[in-house]
């Protein structure tokens, strides 16, 4: 992996937004379009706001969350809605992983159908990491990990029911798989804070079990294709 460290959040946001913007410019120049998989959560939202202010033909860019809560589109916990709010009216197209009315148990059928219409591979997959070492919605101990963390899996999205449910967001999820994310042209992991840095450092050890520390699977399979951005 490649680790880029920044002294503060302003430098972190500037560097990450410049990196993503540069990759999008190259993609549009080469293929006339670009696609993104974007993490939810608090860490990347300022990056999306910064990106929205940067000059680009955003009408040529389509994005999808790396994972989504099984909630309606207008629910405050909906990742896609939060990402849309940060990008504002720049013209980017952001698609959903869940249907407008998310009813009953989570199912990935809608997400899998929608993903068929997005240019592949993603030009950038921007991931975050929780303090429990999950990324996307691949949580420790989840029955979905066997398929979700298999780098050879042909599954592109799957339902996840965290156990226990995170108290701040007690919902089932739909998540892109590690295999789907690894297929991206650029795989980025953005984390902040000393606590998450300690989790990351622990995940680098060979003895760590990805079943209990999912981000370890990302580190091992992505190798030097993974660029990590960190600030205190």
Q: What is the CATH number of the domain that holds 121?
A: 3.40.50.1360
- State the pLDDT at residue 224: 95
Nearest to 137 by CA among 112, 113, 163: 163
Has residue 71 got a pLDDT over 90?
yes
Q: Which secondary structure element, helix H or strand E, spans residue 115, and what is its range? A: helix 109-115
- State the pLDDT at residue 163: 84
- Mean pLDDT check: name the lowest of 90-99, 111-120, 199-208: 111-120
Q: What is the distance between the alpha carbons of residues 223 and 151, in angstroms, rounded to a whole number?
A: 12
Has residue 169 got a pLDDT over 90?
no
Over residues 37-47, the pLDDT tens digits come to: 999 999 999 99
Q: What is the distance between the alpha carbons of residues 48 and 81, in angstroms, rounded to a whole number?
A: 12
Average pLDDT over residues 119-138: 96
Query: 201 to each of 20, 26, 186, 215, how far by Cα in Å?
Result: 25, 32, 22, 11
- State the pLDDT at residue 185: 98
Average pLDDT over residues 50-63: 98
Average pLDDT, the chain: 96
Has residue 139 got a pLDDT over 90?
yes
- State the pLDDT at residue 112: 97
- State the pLDDT at residue 103: 87
User: What's the total number of domains in the chain?
Assistant: 1
Has residue 76 got a pLDDT over 90?
yes
Place of tokens 């101990």: 141
pLDDT confidence band for 80 (50 / 70 / 90)? very high
Which structural domain range is residue 68 located in? 2-231
- State the pLDDT at residue 22: 98
Rounded to two decimals, what is the model's pTM? 0.96
Has residue 165 got a pLDDT over 90?
no
- State the pLDDT at residue 152: 97
Has residue 117 got a pLDDT over 90?
no
Question: Does the N-terminal peptide bond of residue 156 adopt cis geometry, omega within 30 degrees of 0?
Answer: no
DSSP conformation class of 58: G
Place of tokens 């009408």: 59
Nearest to 69 by CA among 41, 88, 94, 45: 41
Has residue 119 got a pLDDT over 90?
no
């Amino acid at each position: 992996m490649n680790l880029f460290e920044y002294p503060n959040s302003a430098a972190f946001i500037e560097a990450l937004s410049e990196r993503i913007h540069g990759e999008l410019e190259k993609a549009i120049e080469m293929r006339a379009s670009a696609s993104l998989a974007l993490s939810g959560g608090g860490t990347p939202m300022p990056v999306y706001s910064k990106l929205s202010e940067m000059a680009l033909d955003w009408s040529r860019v389509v994005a999808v969350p790396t994972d989504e809560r099984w909630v309606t589109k207008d629910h405050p916990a909906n990742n896609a809605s939060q990402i849309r709010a940060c990008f504002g009216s720049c013209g980017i197209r952001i698609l959903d992983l869940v249907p407008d009315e998310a009813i009953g148990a989570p199912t990935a059928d809608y997400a899998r159908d929608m993903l068929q219409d997005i240019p592949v591979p993603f030009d950038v997959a921007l991931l975050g990491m929780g303090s429990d070492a999950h990324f996307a919605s691949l949580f420790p101990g989840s029955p979905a990990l066997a398929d979700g963390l298999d780098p050879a899996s042909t599954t592109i999205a799957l339902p996840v029911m965290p156990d226990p449910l995170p108290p701040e967001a007690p919902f089932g999820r739909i998540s892109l798989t590690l295999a789907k994310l690894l297929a991206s042209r650029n795989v980025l992991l953005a984390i902040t804070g000393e606590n998450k840095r300690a989790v990351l450092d622990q995940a680098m050890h060979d003895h760590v079990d990805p079943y209990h520390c999912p981000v370890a699977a990302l580190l091992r399979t992505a190798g030097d294709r993974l660029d990590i951005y960190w600030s205190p």
